[in-house]
Amino acid sequence: MKFKKINQIYLIKLEKGEEIISTLTKFTQAKKIKFGTVSGIGGLKQTTLKYYDLNQKKYLTKKFTRGNYELLSLTGNLTWIQKKPIVHLHAVLSDSHYHSFGGHLDSAVISITGEIIITPANKIINRTPNQEFNLNFWQL
């Protein structure tokens, strides 16, 4: 990973073989980013997306492991749960047949490069459990 800070914005270049969530989690912690928005594009392999099933109140997962995928859109935010950074991302990816897939990003390994922008804010936003949905929501 390489990064450059311009004013308050971080430009992050993820390298081939790096896993997005774990790398951005370490970066968030190291830079003490209290809250931030994330966007990005790039190329992926070994990707797992999740879909939240409202009736079952749990995530369903789907793995994308055949070949490489274009990361068309990566968007999300950085928050905290019990002094631990949470990288919450959604992704849209496409395959070589131009089929698109989207959902909550569980994990993804960079196949070519990842171009990520983090725009931090100066206020911590924590997440707290919501019993009705079995999820962690922003505490505002």
pLDDT digits (tens, 9 = 90+) for 104-122: 999 999 999 999 999 999 8
pLDDT of residue 82: 85
Q: What is the mean pLDDT of the chain?
A: 96
Is residue 46 within 8 A of residue 34, CB to CB? The reply is: no
pLDDT digits (tens, 9 = 90+) for 80-103: 998 899 999 999 999 999 999 999
Evaluated on CA atoms 20, 21, 23, 29, the torsion sign reads positive
pLDDT of residue 83: 87
For tokens 């790398």, name the residue: 23
One-letter amino acid of 41: I
Q: What are the backbone dihedrals phi and psi of residue 17, each rounded to the nearest 5 degrees, phi first?
A: 95, -15
Q: How confident is the model at residue 30 (pLDDT cuts 50, 70, 90)?
A: very high
Calpha distance 46→49 (Å, rounded): 10
Tell me the domains of the chain and their CATH numbers.
34-60+67-109+121-140 (3.30.1330.80)
Cα Rg for the chain, rounded, in angstroms? 15
pLDDT of residue 45: 96
